[in-house]
Structure 1
C-alpha cells in the first residue's frame, strides 16, 4: 500500500504503549479529536491492542497489567480523514527491549535493519522523568570510595570475608543466604543497564545516520511523554527546553546533526493524569476520553492524538 513509513522507537517505559493505546481507542471510536482513521491492521496482535485501549479507557496502568511477550511487530495502515493520504505506522517493539538490546549487544537484527531502510520518518519517545536519565558518575563512585576506602582493598577485604564466612558455615553446617554488607562486594566493572538513557538514545540515532545511506534527512518527532506532569511542575516550559534540561546529550546531538535530521519536539500527555493521584483522577473520570489528551508542539496545545504523525507527513 502506498504511503510513507513511520517507525516508532524508544527505550522501555518511555510512553510508547500508552500513546498507542490512546491512538487505537480514539481511531476505533472515530473520535473528532483524532485526524486519523484505521485503514487496516497489516500485522500485529489485535487482541492485545484492544486490551491496552480498554485499559486506557478505564484508567488502568498499562505498564503493570499487560506485559504480554507475544505482541510481535505491529504495522498499521492509517488514513487521514480529510484526504486519501495513507501512512504506514510500524511499531517493531512495544516494550523497548529491542532497542535496549541493540545498545547492549552492539548489533541490529536483519528485520529491523530492513525496516529502517524503508522508514521515511521516526517517532522517538523519551520519558523526561525516568530514573535512568542520570547515570552513575565518577563523582558518585569517588564518594563511595571515600566512604569505604580504596576499591581494591574493599574488594580484597570482601573476598576474604566471604571466604571466611564459607569456611565458618561449612564447619557449622549452615547455609549462607546473606549478601555482603559492603555495597561494592558484588560490584561489576560495567553493566549496560547503568548507562544513561540519553546515551542509548543517541546511539540509536547514530546507528541510523551512519548505517543507512539516505538522499534526504530523517524526519524525527521527539515525543516527550508524561507532559501532564511537566505542565504541573513547569507550566511555562516547552518540550525542547525539557529535553535540553533533562537529556542534554540528546539535545546536543540533535542540534549538531541538523543537516541529517529534521526534528520537532512534542509534549504528549496521552494518559492525562497520574493514576495514583486520587483527587485528579476523580476529575478526569468525568471527562470524555479524547479530552484527556494534551499535545503541545512548543507553541500551541491540541487534543489531536495524531499531531506528531500529522507533522511527519507534512
Structure 2
C-alpha cells in the first residue's frame, strides 16, 4: 500500500492539541498496545515535549496560538503490512481556518497537503455551548421587541458570529472545489472531551446527528466525497481542573484515555488513524 498522509483539522478549542499530546505519549511510552508504531517526529520537539508533560501531569494542555504555531509531522507505520502513515497538523491553532472562512483564501502549502493519498481527522468538542439558533430560539425575542416597538440594533458582521457547524461545513466544501483534487476521502469526525457526554451516552454518530445536524447531513449527502466514521475520544480521561484530577493522576497515563467507535480498543486512540489508512484489520 502507498504511504498515507492524514491531515488533522479543527477550529480553535476543538481538542487537536490535547489529542496530539496524548497520541505522542501513547506512541512513545508503549503502555498500551496500539495499531500504529512510531517511527520519528519531524518538527519542534521542545514544543511537543512541553504539551506532553502538561498532559502527563493532568494539567490543561495549553491551546496553540498562531504565534506558537509549529510545523509538526508524525511518521509511523502499520506493523501488519508496513504501510507508512504520516500525520500532518496544517493548522494546530485553528486560527488559520477561521481566516480561511472569513477571507475565502488558503495557502498553496495547504492545498498541496491534500494532494497526497490519505484521509482527514476532523475535530469537534463535546464540551462547548451550542451556538446554533433555530426559529424557536429567537421567536420570544422577536415577540418582545415587536411589543415594545424597539428598533433592532445593527451590528457589523464578523466570522465569529457564524455557528461552528456552518464553518466546519464550509471548511470541507473548500476541498470539493479547485484547486483541490476532487476525490473520495476517508474522514473521521473526532468528538473530543467525550467524558462530558451525559449518560446514557449515545453512540458518537448519534451524538453528531443530534448536536451538529448540519454537519451530519452534509457528510451523509456527500458519499462520493467523504467516507465517514465518527469516534468519541477523551484524551484526558476526565476533568483535570476539578476533584477528578487526583483520581486521574493515580492511573497509568495511557489508561486515562478513552476511545469509543468502530473496532476501537478502550485506550488506543490510533484506531481512527488506522481506519483512515484503509487497513482491513479494522473493517476497512
Same fold (TM over 0.5): yes
Unpaired runs of at least 5, structure 1: 153-183
Output one character per residue of 1:127-158: Cα deviation in whole Å (capped at 9) or x when no partner. Answer: 13322642597827636734764336xxxxxx
C-alpha spacing 1:144/1:28, structure 2 compared with 1 (3 Å): farther
Residue 281 (str. 1) matches residue 245 (str. 2): yes
Using the TM superposition, give the Cα deviation of residue 267 of structure 1 relative to its aligned residue in structure 2, in angstroms: 0.5
Q: TM-score, normalised by structure 1?
A: 0.80
Output one character per residue of 1:261-288: Cα deviation in whole Å (capped at 9) or x when no partner. Answer: 101000011110112330x222221110
Using the TM superposition, give the Cα deviation of residue 301 of structure 1 relative to its aligned residue in structure 2, in angstroms: 5.0
Unpaired runs of at least 5, structure 2: 280-284
Checking the alignment, whether the CA contact within 8 Å between 1:30 and 1:37 is kept in structure 2 is no
Output one character per residue of 1:88-129: Cα deviation in whole Å (capped at 9) or x when no partner. Answer: 101011111111111111111111111122252000001133
Residue 296 (str. 1) matches residue 281 (str. 2): no
Residue 75 (str. 1) matches residue 79 (str. 2): no
SS at match of 2:115: helix
Matches within 5 A, 1:1-314: 3-42=3-42, 44-63=43-62, 67=65, 69-131=67-129, 133-135=131-133, 139=138, 142=142, 145-146=145-146, 149-151=149-151, 184=153, 187-211=154-178, 212-214=180-182, 216-230=183-197, 233-278=198-243, 280-297=244-261, 302-313=266-277, 314=279
User: d(CA) in 2 for partners of 1:46 and 1:304?
Assistant: 23
User: d(CA) in 1 for partners of 2:225 and 2:235?
Assistant: 29
Using the TM superposition, give the Cα deviation of residue 303 of structure 1 relative to its aligned residue in structure 2, in angstroms: 1.1
Q: Which moved more, 1:73-82 or 1:122-131?
A: 73-82
Using the TM superposition, give the Cα deviation of residue 195 of structure 1 relative to its aligned residue in structure 2, in angstroms: 0.5
User: d(CA) in 1 for partners of 2:76 and 2:189?
Assistant: 20
User: d(CA) in 1 for partners of 2:214 and 2:162?
Assistant: 13
Considering only aligned residues, what root-mean-square deviation do their CA atoms show, in Å? 2.3
User: d(CA) in 2 for partners of 1:203 and 1:235?
Assistant: 32
C-alpha spacing 1:252/1:209, structure 2 compared with 1 (3 Å): same
User: d(CA) in 2 for partners of 1:67 and 1:80?
Assistant: 32
User: d(CA) in 2 for partners of 1:189 and 1:284?
Assistant: 45
SS at match of 2:40: strand
Q: TM-score, normalised by structure 2?
A: 0.88
Provide the aligned length of Structure 1 versus Structure 2.
Answer: 274
C-alpha spacing 1:133/1:287, structure 2 compared with 1 (3 Å): same
SS at match of 1:266: strand
User: d(CA) in 2 for partners of 1:108 and 1:262?
Assistant: 24
Checking the alignment, whether the CA contact within 8 Å between 2:191 and 2:231 is kept in structure 1 is yes
